[in-house]
Chains A and B, each alone.
Chain A
């Protein structure tokens, strides 16, 4: 079973920041948080990952709480092309044997 909990759906206005929350209260000290997204009729796409520090790349920012029990993915200026299902994942296992267990994710609808 997935170790994360996400709201099933969210809306965001185009051009505004989209903040997608995720709860992972049972995360272990050495487990990373990963975010993927899946645009309709495409395969999932890696976005970002982090352990305990906040992370930023060209796609998004990841904010992890100090107790690591929750995190937020931030898309700073959402566009219509960001409409997708966003998956928050805590990987189970270790390098080369670890696996990603996808939950049902959050469907983000970006509206004009």
Chain B
């Protein structure tokens, strides 16, 4: 079974630029999550989708972050404009219906904002 795919793996941008991350979850998984992990900390949930609807986006900085999951499969997370404090690893995870405690994580995208 293929795992959660993310791209790019690494990205370096200057502050005030925009950036987008892509995630392809495990086939058939209804729930998709985006996490932000700052160095030395545990992952923090940014947004959770159930199919193509948003379940929880309470921790998403909506003035600069946006996410979408068209057709309930792939998802993109965008930051515009980026700030220095956005430097982190952005992790995508997915889980199957009714088993949302068992999340499968992708390798993450390491973002460096200079």
Please list the residues of chain A having a beta carbon within 8 angstroms of any beta carbon in chain B: 2, 32, 34, 41-46, 49, 85, 87, 91, 95-105
Please list the residues of chain B having a beta carbon within 8 angstroms of any beta carbon in chain A: 4, 31, 40-45, 48, 50, 55-56, 91, 93, 98, 100-108
Q: Are A102 and B42 in contact (CB under 8 A)?
A: yes
Q: Are A43 and B101 in contact (CB under 8 A)?
A: no
Residues on the B chain within 8 Å of A99, using CB:
45, 48, 56
Q: Are B41 and A98 in contact (CB under 8 A)?
A: no
Q: Are A91 and B101 in contact (CB under 8 A)?
A: yes
Q: Are B101 and A87 in contact (CB under 8 A)?
A: no
Q: Are A43 and B55 in contact (CB under 8 A)?
A: no
> Which of B4, B100, B106, B108 neighbours the largest number of chain A CB atoms within 10 Å of its CB?
B100
A42 to B31 alpha-carbon distance, docked (Å): 20
List the count of A-B residue pairs having beta carbons below 8 Å apart.
Answer: 55
Question: Contacts A43-B108, A87-B42: A100 and B103 contacting too (C-beta < 8 A)?
Answer: yes
Q: A43: which of B56, B93, B102 is its contact (CB, 8 Å)?
A: B93
Ordered by A's residue number, 27 sampled pairs between the chains whose C-beta atoms are within 8 Å are: A2-B42, A32-B101, A34-B101, A41-B107, A42-B105, A43-B4, A43-B105, A43-B107, A44-B91, A44-B93, A44-B105, A49-B102, A85-B42, A95-B98, A95-B100, A96-B31, A96-B50, A96-B100, A97-B55, A98-B100, A98-B101, A99-B48, A100-B45, A101-B45, A102-B42, A102-B43, A104-B41
Question: Contacts A44-B43, A104-B40, A105-B42: A49 and B31 contacting too (C-beta < 8 A)?
Answer: no
A104 to B27 alpha-carbon distance, docked (Å): 30
Q: Are B105 and A45 in contact (CB under 8 A)?
A: yes
> Which of A32, A41, A98, A100 neighbours the largest number of chain B CB atoms within 10 Å of its CB?
A100
Residues on the A chain within 8 Å of B4, using CB:
43
Question: Contacts A34-B101, A91-B101, A96-B100: A102 and B44 contacting too (C-beta < 8 A)?
Answer: yes
Residues on the B chain within 8 Å of A96, using CB:
31, 50, 55, 98, 100
Q: Shortest distance in angstroms between B35's beta carbon and chain A's nearest beta carbon?
A: 8
Closest to B41 in A: A104
